[in-house]
Amino acid sequence: MKLEEFLNLDIKKLNIENKKDYLEIQNILSRSDASLGRLLEEPCEKCGEKQVYCGQYDQGAVNYEDSFWHLCLNCLTTQYSTSSNGMPSHISCPFCGYQWA
């Protein structure tokens, strides 16, 4: 699946768990200043495909709230989390530990 297809999915009609997480990721990725993230070297744990992305988005400059996700564009497996650690120099993915800043 391509990013454009993911952004156009009607998540509410899909029979998947964590619909709220998908909607959050769709919302973030539809913003003009967001990017899909970096392609992980590890394959998806569910389907084995190498279309898994690790992403981060800064939700606010004042409280340092960040959103993180892992998203497989093949089977739509996702992980999503927000963090507000107050330290912009310590922005790392809670799922794989990648240091974003």
pLDDT truncated to tens, each residue of the chain (101 aa)? Answer: 887 888 888 888 888 877 888 888 998 888 888 888 899 988 999 999 988 999 998 876 656 788 899 999 888 888 999 887 656 556 888 899 998 87
Could you please report the per-residue DSSP string of 27-79?
Answer: HHHTSTT----EE-SSPPTTT--S-EEEEEEEEETTTTEEEEEEEETTT--EE
DSSP symbol at 80: E
DSSP symbol at 81: E
Tokens representing 68? 């993180």
